[in-house]
Amino acid sequence: MIKPHGSDELNPLFVYDTAENEALQKEAESLPSVLVSSATAANAVMLGGGYFNPLTGYMNKADALSVAKEMKTTSGLFWPTPVLNLLQDSNGVKAGDRIALKDPNVEGNPVLAVMDVESVEEFTDDEIKYIAQNVYRPSPDEAHPGVEAFEAQGKVCLSGPIQVLNFSYFQSEFPDTFRTAVEIRNEIAERGWKKIVAFQTRNPMHLAHEELCHMAMDRLGCDGLVIHMLLGKLKPGDIPAPVRDAAIRKMVELYFPENSAMVTGYGFDMLYAGPKEGVLHAVFRQNMGATHFIIGRDHAGVGDHYGAFDAQTIFDEEVPEGALDIEIFKADHTAYSKKLNKVVMMCEAPDHTKDDFVLLSGTKVREMLGNGIAPPKEFSRPEVAKILMDYYESIK
């Protein structure tokens, strides 16, 4: 199986030994504690699950600025986005302290992780702006939700290793879908897959997405597909994870051969960082055992901040050769061709005009579903559309 990023073996930071986990939870009751941001909590979940391998905890200022500038830490490890524990103030925490990190997303704010604080530093306004500009690359004339969420966390940076005690709400709310990188690697091995392509989604999958996955599997000669859903915080208006999960599972059940596709999810808050987040997504997928990763049009984008294929070209122009072992399957926009009576990549149909494709905007699709109208079968499987129509009916 493909090696994880940065090490020979996966090193998840979750404390799997039951006795040790219980002892740490008891110890945490007497430790100073801080209530972390949702983004910091999501980082802990990803560190715990092995997705952030080989990181051992939260980055310090120097590493965060180095990663923002040139996608590598001060020690030379390739890494695309800072992994931080940011606070509004230090809460009296100082270097050398051992503290409990409390979860903002679970009632009662239980302890999520125990942290050994190596440094307490503060970013200047200019440094925060520098990170935002280099990681999120926002357009100057449009608000960027990722930048807003990043800047709202605060400027005080706690760095150091952590021991993760639970997976927040992801394991309890999505028991059939949430999987760590460790668990996905184990299941890939159990299924006997050797070549695996991963597909990232934060939306339900329509016919074009389904066919794109089939195309990638066929062209790459893969024996397995991992559909990997984002289960964390999205932007307002996005369809909730349980609804997406049900729709995707129905699609796989009906339209994929047995033992060819896994439906899984991971606990992370969407950054909407476009190209840099595309690279981060590739790191996740290498760590969970995928050999290939589909990156399509406007991957991890939002609004008009990025070019349609910026998340593909960054692998050619900015990711050093050999930095990652996973290979990228570059996909164009896919749509149903009226001429050919099948879904194609639009770039592979040069004799087509826009009118030769079945194209519906997201707004139009939501409007149709909200009115109880199924999109055409060339756009969405009827069984998938039914699940989405039932959801929109339920929120009227």
Looking at residue 142, what is its pLDDT?
A: 86
Q: Three-state secondary structure along 73-139?
A: CCCCCECCCCCCCEECCCCCCCCCCEEEEECCCCCCCCEEEEEECCEEEECCHHHHHHHHHHHHCCC
Q: Is the model's pLDDT at 365 over the cut of 70?
A: yes
11 part of a folded domain: no
13 part of a folded domain: no
Q: Is the model's pLDDT at 24 over the cut of 90?
A: yes
From CA 179, how far away is CA 201, in angstroms rounded?
15
Q: For the residues of 171-210, what is the DSSP string, one character each? A: HHH-TTTB--HHHHHHHHHHHT-SSEEEEEESS---HHHH
93 part of a folded domain: yes
Q: What percent of the chain has pLDDT over 70?
A: 99
Domain count, the chain: 2
Domain span including residue 65: 18-171
What is the pLDDT confidence band of residue 303, given thresholds at 50, 70 and 90? confident
Are 250 and 369 found together in one domain? yes
Are 239 and 149 found together in one domain? no
Are 105 and 136 found together in one domain? yes
246 part of a folded domain: yes
Looking at residue 234, what is its pLDDT?
A: 65
Are 79 and 103 found together in one domain? yes
Active-site residues, by number, are 202-203
Looking at residue 95, what is its pLDDT?
A: 98
Q: Is the model's pLDDT at 233 over the cut of 80?
A: no
Q: What is the CATH number of the domain that holds 29?
A: 3.10.400.10
Q: What is the CATH number of the domain that holds 295?
A: 3.40.50.620
Domain final residue pick, 171, 203, 220: 171
Whether the ω angle into residue 54 lies within 30 degrees of 0, i.e. cis, is: yes
Are 229 and 376 found together in one domain? yes
Domain final residue pick, 148, 171, 194: 171
Are 157 and 191 found together in one domain? no
Q: Is the model's pLDDT at 146 over the cut of 90?
A: yes
Encode pLDDT of 333-361 as tens digits: 999 999 999 999 999 999 999 999 999 88
How much is the pTM?
0.94
Mean pLDDT of the chain: 95
What is the pLDDT confidence band of residue 271, given thresholds at 50, 70 and 90? very high
Looking at residue 232, what is its pLDDT?
A: 82
Are 218 and 309 found together in one domain? yes
Encode pLDDT of 147-185 as tens digits: 999 999 999 999 999 999 999 999 999 999 999 999 999
Are 184 and 162 found together in one domain? no
Are 292 and 183 found together in one domain? yes
What is the pLDDT confidence band of residue 235, given thresholds at 50, 70 and 90? low
152 part of a folded domain: yes
Q: Is the model's pLDDT at 74 over the cut of 90?
A: yes
Are 162 and 192 found together in one domain? no
Domain final residue pick, 171, 196, 222: 171
Are 117 and 190 found together in one domain? no
Are 270 and 291 found together in one domain? yes
